[in-house]
Structure 1
Amino acid sequence: MRVLGVDPGLTRCGVGVVEGLPGRQLTMLGVGVVRTPPGDDLGPRLLAVERGLEEWLDRYSPELVAVERVFAQHNVRTVMGTAQASAVAVLCATRRGIPVTLHTPSEVKAAVTGSGRADKAQVTAMVTRLLRLDAPPKPADAADALALAICHIWRGGTTNRLTAAIRAHESGKWHSGGGVRSQGRGEPREAEDGIGQDPPEQQPVAPRAAYGRVPGRPRTSTRP
């Protein structure tokens, strides 16, 4: 499968294309950064991000798109730009019928390095090694985009392929279909210059008891 990884950011939006299968050697097809001038208005900057991503989609025709999941805890002003760039990436892919999956930062780190608490240098080093690159990809946004693509091939590709097959069967047509899937439990802390951290997980809420009658059995009540 061919996956486009997107590390969203309004000033620097990392993009990387990786091809391969789980358990097989992976190949990097392209890596780079879509940049916008910080002094420009928001509208033209988002349009520039869209045009840049469209060029990558045209050039490499990925089957799947993996985007870092955005979460805000502190710097709301910074995270707004990141969230807007993330939405543009989801829009560009969905408009073409390409499935999109959101991966948390800790999930990406765990997939690439084996530890969800790995730092940026460790992620970059493992990406360089896994893709057999001559030099580490720069800037960090580019390395993070490749890490997202690797994570999706190893963890999320099967899920998206199954979803696409079900949709194709239901519609009677073999097409990929759109949609966004979210991997992982936690919401990541936003970091525009790379993969951030996940906040503590929330305790699950117990489901409510169901009331009703089972066919073939007498009516019963679970109330005291």
Structure 2
Amino acid sequence: MRVLGVDPGSRRTGFGIVDDQGGRPGYVACGVVVSISGTVAERLHRIFSGLAEVVEHYRPDVCAVERVFLARNPDSALKLGQARGAALVALAGAGLDVHEYTALQIKKATVGVGHADKGQVQHMMRALLGLSAQPSADAADALACALCHLHESQGLQSRTRAISP
């Protein structure tokens, strides 16, 4: 199974792709869709088209997106919601099954601490995936989201096997 993790942002949307290699995660790619300049509509289109290109190139089987529920102010919440919407439409439009996880769930599943800081997430992604360099904060968050989904889906599979006759 190939999982695309997405960390939505109004200016920087992180993506991370991992494969399930027999119960172990395998790094495929990560990066950031940058949408800093332009009108709101242009920036949202960049997020949409950037993620559509990632999906077309890497062909993930499933997607995991960080569910954002806190923002510093109403304007930030609106912009983040719009960016998240553009990302969700790109993913659903590509026919992907989209799963959502809170930041707390993601950090707990990958770092072991629900309130880990960005540096801790970056360090753990480098260690868990055997990366030669530390990914950017946005890409690391997206990789963590993908790993969280792998962890959750493996847990579901093992629970299903345990109760099957």
What is the aligned-residue RMSD (CA, Å)? 1.8
Whole-angstrom distance in 1 between the partners of 2:77 and 2:125: 25
**How many Å apart are 1:73 and its aligned residue?**
4.9
* Counterpart position of 1:165: none
Rounded Cα–Cα distance in structure 1 between residues aligned with 2:12 and 2:71:
20
- Which residue is 1:152 aligned to? 149
Which residue number in structure 2 is paired with residue 129 of structure 1? Answer: 127
Partner residue, 2:45: 47
Distance 2:74 2:9 in 1: 13
- 1:112 is matched with 110
1:95 pairs with one of 86, 93, 100: 93
Provide TM-score, normalisation by structure 2: 0.88
Aligned to 1:189: none
Q: Residue 21 of structure 1 contacts residue 154 of structure 1 at CA under 8 Å; is this kept in 2?
A: no
Matching residue of 2:161? none
**Residue ranges of structure 1 left out of the alignment (5+ in a row):** 161-224
CA distance in 1, matches of 2:14, 2:118: 14
Q: SS in structure 1 opposite 2:151?
A: helix
Query: Cα gap change, 1:21/1:106 in structure 2, threshold over 3 Å: closer, same or farther?
Result: farther
Give distance in 1, aligned partners of 2:114 and 2:21.
22
| Higher alpha-carbon Rg | 1
Higher relative contact order (CA 8 A, sep 6+): 2
Compared with structure 1, are the counterparts of its residues 97 and 77 closer, same or farther at alpha carbon in structure 2 (3 Å cutoff)? same
1:13: which partner in 2? 13
Q: Hey, what's the Cα distance between the residues in 2 that align with 1:85 and 1:59?
A: 21
Distance 1:142 1:89 in 2: 15
Of residues 60, 63, 69, the one that matches 2:61 is 63
2 CA distance for matches of 1:121 and 1:86? 23
Q: How far did residue 91 of structure 1 move? A: 1.1
Equivalent pairs, count: 157
Q: Is the 8 A contact 2:12 2:34 kept in 1?
A: yes
Contact 2:107 2:113 in 1 (8 A): yes
Distance 2:99 2:148 in 1: 11
The residue type paired with residue 126 of structure 1 is M
In structure 2, the gaps of 5 or more residues are 158-165
Which residue number corresponds to residue 33 of structure 2? 34
